[in-house]
Amino acid sequence: MFKKLLICIIFTIFCIYSVANVSAVGVGVSPANMSFDAHVGITEYQSLFVINDGQSISDYRVYVDDQYVDWFSISPNNFTLQPGEHKEVIIGLKPPVSANGNYDMKAYVIASAPSSDFEVGSGIKIPVKINVSNKGLFYASGAILVLAVGMILTGTRWNRKRKQNRVNLNTAEIRIADTAVVSSAVDEVTNCDLGLGSGLEDEID
């Protein structure tokens, strides 16, 4: 009997302490709701201001619904504020490739006393509306396709020009070689003529 009474007393004290802590903890946000017009592949950023409107120093945590965790970046998502102090939180949204259309979800700001580890505290739910368009992905794909085609055409023209330069070079080498052969033949004929002329002169003499 005494043990049960002791447990009840401890539990009551804990509840009173918790309620006191919660009443001292305060949280305010601005804006009260958020709306994103997002495009696939592009990150959209918005600011959320968190305010400690309570009477004591408090720890804060900012997060979103579990199913949308991979869509968002939150910086910072954990911080401490003095009474009356505020913090700007940058929330980035980058929808996945499969996203398209309208989505409704929640962001949360939880405040607690520094020693409570967010087990006891107060919080605010922030409605978030998201309109996702995948036109950005279409345009990006089109740009990549145009770039790829341009690179292929440029490479093809370069190869053709390179082959033509090789043909021109080979033709020039052949012409030079032909000229050398003709010159050599002329030299041989001239030498023969000179030799024949000398022989005739000797005979005449």
Domain ranges of the chain: 25-132, 134-205
Of the pLDDT bands very low, low, confident and very high (cuts 50, 70, 90), residue 132 is very high
Q: State the Cα–Cα distance between residues 4 and 64, nearest whole angstrom.
A: 41
Taking the C-alpha atoms of residue 154 and residue 160, their distance in angstroms, rounded to an integer, is 10
Report pTM. Answer: 0.56
Token pair for 65:
């619904």
Four-way CATH pick for 25-132: 2.60.40.1930, 2.60.40.3080, 2.60.40.10, 1.10.940.10: 2.60.40.10
pLDDT at 2 over 70: no
pLDDT higher for 185 or 31? 31
What DSSP string describes 30-91? Answer: ESSSEEEEEETT--EEEEEEEE--SSS-EEEEEEE-GGGGGGEEEESSEEEE-TT-EEEEEE
Q: What confidence score (pLDDT) does residue 84 get?
A: 95
Please give the pLDDT value at position 78. 96
The structure tokens listed for 127 are 């409605």
Identify which of 130-139, 164-173, 174-183 has the greatest average pLDDT.
130-139
